[in-house]
Amino acid sequence: MLAGCSTSAPPSYAPIQPLAVRGAIMPTDGDLAAADVAIAVMANDSLAGLHALGRIHAYEKAVAETEEEDALRIGLPGYAQYALASTLDDPERFREAMEHLLDSDDLDPGLEQIVKQYHDDHPLKLARARVRDAWVRHLGTIFNQFAAPIGKSAASGAFAVAGFVRSTFKVMLYELQREEMGLAERQALGHWKRFVETNPDSEDAEDVVERIEKDQERWNRLQRDRAVQAGEKALERGQPRVALVMAERALMYENEDTGATRLRDEARDKVKRWQEARESSEQAIGWGDVAPPEARALALALLGGGGDPAAEAEALFFQDPQGPLADEARFVMATMRGENGNTDAMWEYMTAISMVDPYESNMSRHAQAAVRSPSQHPYRAYRLTRNNDRVDQVKWIFFGPLGGGPQDRNLPRPLEWLVDMPTLVELFMSMPNRLVFFPWMQPWPFGKAPAAYARRYLERYPDGSRFNDVAGWLQDWEQRRGNHVGAFDVALVRTDLDDGDLSGLEEAAAEQKFEASEREPRTDARLVLLKGIAREHPQTEWGQKAGHEARKLALHFTSQRIRLSRGFLEEHRFVAGPDGIGLEPLYLDGNERNGELHPDGISLVGGRTLEFSFLAESGKEKDEPERRYRTISKERMSRLVSLLDETSLRLAQLESDYEYVSDADRDTFFEAARLGVADETAVRSSARSEYAFEGMREQYGLVRSRDSILPFELVVQGSLYDFGFGVFPRIRMPKPTPDAFLYR
């Protein structure tokens, strides 16, 4: 008997308390006064509203004197004062009312957050905060550049000296390249403008207007600089029309700027020459001497007018190898070889023609275009990019991040090398580390360009003589970067592999697909993935496992799965209580013997059905839970979804870390449940919501991190790459505000 009682016993039914019956609610004096406040607000009758507010205060005072009714206080005076303040036309008076509300003790925590937002929404206050952020970011960037090398100086030695010199160069470049007006300063300008527009008669308006005029000039210079830089880059890329547009844009902000004027003239001159060249190329070209008679036979053969084009071309070429149509004949011979499947011979002919001087051959430039085109000759592009890739690997081993050259800082190239020169000492000293890490680099960063051209070659020439060699390299590269699915797909098209070589690759590919399906959040999409694995890899261990998982998933698939975790229900017991789900309290008391709720909690699985997940007989949370189902009434479902919405919105107000993520399918289902038509909602998989309500402790742990009030943080930094170690302070940069994207 003791052994039997020691194991958990999940109930055989879904334990729900009866729905709490609510009697008629008789309005109290406070309710009647609150109704009068609402009427006064709608009628904009301030005097009547103040009289009603006095009655509310009197009611709250009377309730406070009654000890058993003290719990009924819900901050009604605060809500009434907030409603009356919303009728004020003057923004300054409204903010004074919000400040007065913050000093009172009558605010509900949710209302207090709203009042704080309105109180802090003052243009001058926001502008001062953004100006302070700009200064902190500017000075903090300079300080942080020197803090790291100084902090590492004790352990790094010579590396610290090089790092200090590099930081000096970076600070100089930062000051030279810093924009005329930073993001925070642009936000401050917007707030100043808003203040002047809403408070034109304020005593501070005159000083603010002067500040706006100064910053507006800086804003114009910033726009001019950005337009000129974009125009110069467009001119370097051979886009004179874009450069002309950007130059005209710069002159809109600075109409007499010399740099923008020079850019406009240069771009306009190039555009004019381009237009003249285009007009001349579109003119009709007169015919010269009549083509030789052999050309007619060759043209007719190519156009299908009879004869064998390859034979005609070969006869014409050997008849007169130095004749006027010799190159044309060789080009036709090469083309016919390719159409007959002999691509190697075709590209040999094409390469030979492309090496002839274009001024001495009519077909040389056509052959060059074909040979150099990656889409037409992908094997050549594959070989060239592989060679370049090997060179890049060697450069990375010797020079590390500088293998591709110095960082582009919009400076002359010698100056960019000079800035990165202190890094060379550190890179040479750390070369042994790169030699050790090179074979195990993950993900593999090299070979992307050769892989793209290798795939193009395999698609374009499936019968090519180098097909297996290219496919073998591509398969090895896919395996190197961990893409077993791609490696197996390439191995399938190879003709030099047997079934034994493919079995291992197929097993690895099926395992990777199965792992990918487990990361899929949508159940319907995961079901499709599992079925595909079972169908494509039926002989593998993971294919069979996918089939079992797909069957289990199909059996438990529901039209909805909106989950309320056990942690969420423990933190908000009124959701699980009589006004919500009505769950018996003993299933949340932590005692496993009476059928404790599983961490999966309770799920809304469609219609008015709830799925209860209880601990299995083993009592272990990692085991599959025991599931029970119960259909609840329309009234209870309506109450439940309303409680969930109200709880989430209140948490979003009170907890800065809580996010009530938008979910259209969840909201659609909730609205249908409120109206009592949840049974009529769509059951298609695309309308299925898998939203989860989780407790704050589940998301962030027992103790959540908080932002420090100190303006700096202590950093402990170490690296095996350069054997550096140090402890140093770093200024914490201000976080961007939610509206920052509007000012970028």
Tokens 């406040």, located at residue: 37
For 178, other C-beta atoms within 10 Å of its C-beta total 11
Q: What are phi and psi of 290, to 5 degrees?
A: -65, 140
**Token pair of 606 as six digits:** 């469609």
Strand, helix or coil at 157? coil
Q: What is the pLDDT of residues 569-603, one digit of tens each?
A: 999 988 988 888 988 888 888 777 777 889 999 99
d(CA 392, CA 385): 10
Total residue length of the chain: 744
CB-based contact 366:427 (threshold 8 Å): no
> What one-character-per-residue DSSP string does 418-452 give?
HHHHHHHHHHHHTHHHHHHHGGG-SS--S-HHHHH
Q: Among candidates 699, 710, 700, 704, which has minimal Cα distance to 732?
A: 710
Instruction: Please count the CA atoms within 13 angstroms of the CA of 450 that sit on its side-chain side.
Output: 22
d(CA 152, CA 718): 9
CB-based contact 505:489 (threshold 8 Å): no
d(CA 682, CA 669): 9
**What pLDDT does 61 receive?**
80
**What pLDDT does 292 receive?**
61
Task: Burial-class residue 477 by CB neighbours within 10 Å (0-12, 13-18, 19+).
Answer: buried
Q: In what order do the strands lie in the sheet with 609-614?
A: 626-631, 609-614, 597-604, 562-564, 692-693
d(CA 181, CA 273): 37
Domains of the chain, residue spans:
29-120, 180-277, 295-356, 381-552, 562-687
Task: Burial-class residue 540 by CB neighbours within 10 Å (0-12, 13-18, 19+).
Answer: buried
Q: Among candidates 467, 444, 446, which has minimal Cα distance to 456?
A: 467
Strand, helix or coil at 214? helix
d(CA 459, CA 482): 22
Task: Burial-class residue 543 by CB neighbours within 10 Å (0-12, 13-18, 19+).
Answer: buried
Strand boundaries in 650-723, DSSP class E: 692-693, 712-719
Q: What are phi and psi of 610, to 5 degrees?
A: -110, 140
- Residue 626, strand partner residues: 614
**What pLDDT does 203 receive?**
83
Q: What are phi and psi of 125, to 5 degrees?
A: -65, -45
Long-range Cβ pairs for the range 465-468 (8 Å, 24+): 465/343, 465/344, 466/379, 467/494, 467/495, 468/494, 468/495, 468/496
CB-based contact 246:228 (threshold 8 Å): yes
Return the H-helix or E-strand segment holding 127. Answer: helix 123-151
Q: Among candidates 477, 457, 691, 677, which has minimal Cα distance to 568?
A: 691
**Token pair of 398 as six digits:** 């010797």
3-state helix, strand, coil in the chain (%, to 5): 65, 5, 30
**Chain-centroid distance, C-alpha 547:** 33
Q: Across the 744 residues of the chain, what is the mean pLDDT of every consecutive 10-residue run?
A: 58 66 76 90 88 86 64 71 85 82 78 82 88 90 82 62 75 80 90 88 86 91 91 90 93 88 93 82 51 62 56 56 68 76 83 82 84 90 90 81 72 72 69 69 75 92 88 90 91 84 89 91 86 92 92 83 92 88 85 82 90 86 87 91 90 79 89 86 74 85 64 71 67 85 83
d(CA 694, CA 245): 53
Return the H-helix or E-strand segment holding 166. Answer: helix 158-177
Please name the amino acid found at residue 416: E
**What pLDDT does 623 receive?**
85
